[in-house]
């Protein structure tokens, strides 16, 4: 009984879903402060260079793999080369780790949308966030250890986010994933345009924009600025760890994958710029003439401390709060669904299980881990550590291994280029192959070495080494072992591997 792979209804659906994945927390809270801290207007140069030399080429690389070999990462890599399956499972592992904490941020944003109506934080946004809301006990930092004591107002919303997510995943590519993005993305865009328009009318908006965009040219000679640019592009485009491979595997056989890729890449960057303008206009209002350094130093601080303070002081507070946190929650949800679809689709491909069963087993276990670890009093510590390791070391090493092996060991770049060019409006050729095979391994290798060195020597944010060893290094090592283990298991004879040929 030949079963066909699920597919998107068409090009528009694919683009909307892929943009829904790309546009997320990275655009709204990460890009603005990273830009501010790394040279302001001058940062746009490394950013564009990173977009053109790494972001778009890897985006096309991911698309090429998913589209040509028509499978979730383990299946697509297995078809690319019989020995390559473990690469795919490692990417699945990274997605699993990211989903665990990303879901929590979506849940917080949803709760803060609600809190905005009454400005529950009063005039102490920081105290409210850490104390009253998260009930945060700084487990690990002061040697007090990690605790999983459940915090109801954090844990229950997190459970609800997981239920919505698993229901959408179980409904499938068209009825679940596509539908959420088709509704979510336009709503998000509308809310965000309103938010930016509103922020620009606030007093001090111009000062905020000046602080953001005034170029500091000396930043261009600082290597860490370039590292930040590449890191931002990777995270923001969701490339290198299976998401775009999975989505592209649901393209119909004759699709313009390369053209869609460029649309997705440029839409994501446009949204990022728009977000930076909105966020800094509002920060200018908050600072009221004072320097912005303190309010703009981290993503979490920006979203859950600086913004609530702005909201409390601005005219039409509740509206501003709903627009900001509502956008954050929606943008996060459409990204989260793409992360978990990688896990679900991979399990489904390998085992031949039905979609609901794969969702229940793979999604259910991610949900349990997420609620247990992040829904408790030490959630913030675990979130911070898992994020720092999976997002930098994890993503970069997964991408490095993939581009290097596919080019130099498995030698499949020609096949990938042919696949893209068959129906693609944008033709890839020697420049693309050189970027993937030569430039990227060098850049990624360099980034990885610096990051590993830094974490080995300096630890991270002062957390206890056993905390880093468990939730950072340990989690990554576990994913590596699982990846190899999974790749050694036999493919079920009724699985996608046997049912359909690319």
- Tell me how far apart the alpha carbons of residues 391 and 21 are, in angstroms, rounded to a whole number: 16
22 contacts Na ion (rule: CB under 5 A): yes
Nearest to 376 by CA among 152, 156, 150, 159: 150
**Binding residues for Na ion restricted to 240-279, rule: CB under 5 A:** 268
Which run of H or of E encompasses 439? none
Residues 288-347 that bind ligand PHE (CB under 6 A): 335, 338-339
Sign of CA dihedral 181, 187, 190, 191: negative
**Residue bearing tokens 């801290």:** 37
Binding of residue 243 to ligand PHE (CB under 6 A): yes
390 makes contact with ligand PHE (CB under 6 A): no
Total residues at interface with ligand PHE (CB under 6 A): 14
**Nearest-angstrom CA–CA distance, 305 and 285:** 15
Query: Which of 16, 92, 98, 202 forms a contact with ligand PHE (CB under 6 A)?
Result: 98
Token pair 């004072």: residue: 290
Determine which residue in the list 13, 16, 19, 26 makes contact with Na ion, applying CB under 5 A: 26
Of 354, 418, 19, 366, which Cα lies nearest the Cα of 182? 19
Residue from 20, 24, 157, 419 in contact with ligand PHE (CB under 6 A): 24
CA 304 to CA 287: how far, in whole Å? 16
Least distance CB 227 / Na ion (angstroms)? 18
Task: Say which residue the tokens 């999974």 belong to.
Answer: 486
Residue 334 near Na ion by CB under 5 A: no
Q: Is 27 in the site for ligand PHE (CB under 6 A)?
A: yes
Could you say whether residue 55 binds Na ion (CB under 5 A)?
no
* Partner from ligand PHE, Na ion, none contacting 119, C-beta within 5 to 8 A by type: none
Q: How far is the CB of 99 from ligand PHE (least distance, A)?
A: 8
Q: Kindly list the distances between the CA atom of residue 317 and the CA atoms of 115, 126, 193, 310, 348, in Å, as whole numbers in the listed order.
A: 11, 18, 17, 8, 46
Site string for Na ion, 208-237 (x = CB under 5 A): ----------------------------x-
Does 93 bind ligand PHE (CB under 6 A)? Our answer is: no
Binding to ligand PHE by residue 208, rule CB under 6 A? no
338 binds Na ion (CB under 5 A): no
Judged by CB, which is closer to ligand PHE: 38, or 338?
A: 338
Output phi, psi for 210, to 5 deg.
-65, -45
The DSSP string of 301-353 is HIIIIIHHHHHHHSTTHHHHHHHHHHHHHHHHHHHHHHHHHHHHHHHHHHH--
Q: Does 77 bind ligand PHE (CB under 6 A)?
A: no
Q: Summarize as ranges the residues that interact with ligand PHE (CB under 6 A).
A: 21-22, 24-27, 98, 235-236, 238, 243, 335, 338-339
* Residues contributing to the site for Na ion (CB under 5 A): 22, 26-27, 236, 268
């Amino acid at each position: 009984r030949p079963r066909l792979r699920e597919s998107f209804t068409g090009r528009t659906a694919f683009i909307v879903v892929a943009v829904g994945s790309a546009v997320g927390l990275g655009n709204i809270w990460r890009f603005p402060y990273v830009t501010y801290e790394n040279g302001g207007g001058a940062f746009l140069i490394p950013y564009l260079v990173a977009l053109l030399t790494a972001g778009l080429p890897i985006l096309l690389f991911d698309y090429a793999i998913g589209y040509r070999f028509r499978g979730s990462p383990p299946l697509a890599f297995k078809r690319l080369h019989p020995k390559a399956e473990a690469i795919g499972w490692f990417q699945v592992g990274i997605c699993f780790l990211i989903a665990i904490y990303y879901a929590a941020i979506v849940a917080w944003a949803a709760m803060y949308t609600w809190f905005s109506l009454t400005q529950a934080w009063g005039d102490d946004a920081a105290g409210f966030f850490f104390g009253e809301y998260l009930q945060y006990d700084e487990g690990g930092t002061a040697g007090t250890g990690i605790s999983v004591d459940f915090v109801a107002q954090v844990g229950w919303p997190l459970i609800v986010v997981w239920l919505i997510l698993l229901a959408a995943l179980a409904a499938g590519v068209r009825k679940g994933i596509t539908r959420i993005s088709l509704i979510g993305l336009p709503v998000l865009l509308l809310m965000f345009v309103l938010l930016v328009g509103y922020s620009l009318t606030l007093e001090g908006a111009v000062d905020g924009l000046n602080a953001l965009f005034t170029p500091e040219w000396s930043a261009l000679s600082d290597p860490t600025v370039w590292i930040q640019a590449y890191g931002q592009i990777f995270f923001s485009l969701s490339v290198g760890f299976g998401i775009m491979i999975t989505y592209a595997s649901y393209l119909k056989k004759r699709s313009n994958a390369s053209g869609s890729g460029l649309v997705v890449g440029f839409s994501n960057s446009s949204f990022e710029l728009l977000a930076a303008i909105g966020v800094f206009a509002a920060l200018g209002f908050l600072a009221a003439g004072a320097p912005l350094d303190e309010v703009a130093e981290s993503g979490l601080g920006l979203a859950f401390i600086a913004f609530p303070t702005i909201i409390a002081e601005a005219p039409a507070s509740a509206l501003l709060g709903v627009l900001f946190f509502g956008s954050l929650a929606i943008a996060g949800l459409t990204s989260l669904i793409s992360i978990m679809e990688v896990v679900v689709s991979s399990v489904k491909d390998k085992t031949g299980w039905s979609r609901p069963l794969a969702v229940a087993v793979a999604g259910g276990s991610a949900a349990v881990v997420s609620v247990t670890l992040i829904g408790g009093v030490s959630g913030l510590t675990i979130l911070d550590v898992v994020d720092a390791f999976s997002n930098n070391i994890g993503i970069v090493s997964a991408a490095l291994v993939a581009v290097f092996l596919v080019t130099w060991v498995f030698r499949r770049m020609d096949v990938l280029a042919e696949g893209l060019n068959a129906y693609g409006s944008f033709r890839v050729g020697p420049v693309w192959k050189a970027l993937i095979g030569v430039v990227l391994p060098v850049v990624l290798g360099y980034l990885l070495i610096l990051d590993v060195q830094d974490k080995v020597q300096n630890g991270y944010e002062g957390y206890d080494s056993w905390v880093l060893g468990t939730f950072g290094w340990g989690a990554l090592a576990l994913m590596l072992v699982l990846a190899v283990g999974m790749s050694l298991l036999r493919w079920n004879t009724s699985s996608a591997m046997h049912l359909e040929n690319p």
